[in-house]
Amino acid sequence: MGGEEPSIWMQPERSKRPSPGPQRAYSRQQVVRAAIKIADEEGLQAASMRRIAAEIGAGTMTLYQYVRNREDLMELIVDEVTGEMGLPERPSGEWRADAAAVAVAKRDLYLRHTWLATRVPGHPVWGPHSLHVQEFLLSSFDAFEMSVDELVSLTGLLNGYVESFVRAEVGWQEEARRTGVDMQEWMRRTAPYARHLVLSGRYPAFSRVLMENTSPHMEPDARFHYGLDRVLDSIEASLKPGT
């Protein structure tokens, strides 16, 4: 294990590795904030080390004094924006309200920084802001008797719902940005094919959804909270008071 590189959270703010040429002091925070700005405006893929260096007026190699590689940079920027969730220091003791607060704050965060919904999650981020969210949610269930596996599964159910919902929201936004066709226009263009499917009689359940769907449709906020309440109902059914 001696050859393993330390986590970014155990590395100093600035590497001692010198860069050739005149030196100017930057900070890891500058690098992180520049990366977030680019990702917000142009998408996550645009936030390359070269592009970030240009944003802050540094040479590309200078950035490696502050961030070892792109993987570390991703951890840093995800944790930085997670701090925007603004959760209280500790849970209120009302597990349902606390879990709902996490879900709502997480969705709001993803809608502000849509690149969060487009990145492949990979390993968990263990930065201070991310750990606070984890600690808050996990300790919301302290009053109940459950194993670690049960606790992780139930909180994973909540997080999975939020991430799945918001990825669908962001997906429509990204498609509209890329193609100029939003959800309403797509539905208008596909209406002839939808009628063809209904008349074919081959998909009765799907046809019922098409024919009986109310208009206007339930707004995203209402759909999110409707689904969130069902997820919390499911979690509640699994809870057993502690001794």
Domains of the chain are 8-81 (1.10.10.60), 86-238 (1.10.357.10)
Confidence of residue 166 (pLDDT cuts 50, 70, 90): very high
pTM of the full structure? 0.86
User: Which pLDDT tens digit goes with each residue over 63-95?
Assistant: 999 999 999 999 999 999 999 999 999 999 999
Mean pLDDT over each residue of the chain, to the nearest integer:
89
pLDDT at 20 over 60: no
Alpha carbons 47 and 51: distance in angstroms, whole number:
6
Q: What is the pLDDT of residue 3?
A: 55
Q: What is the pLDDT of residue 1?
A: 47
Q: What is the pLDDT of residue 67?
A: 92
Residue 76 contacts residue 67 (beta carbons within 8 Å): yes
Q: What is the mean pLDDT of residues 121-149?
A: 94
CA-CA-CA-CA torsion sign (23, 27, 33, 35): positive
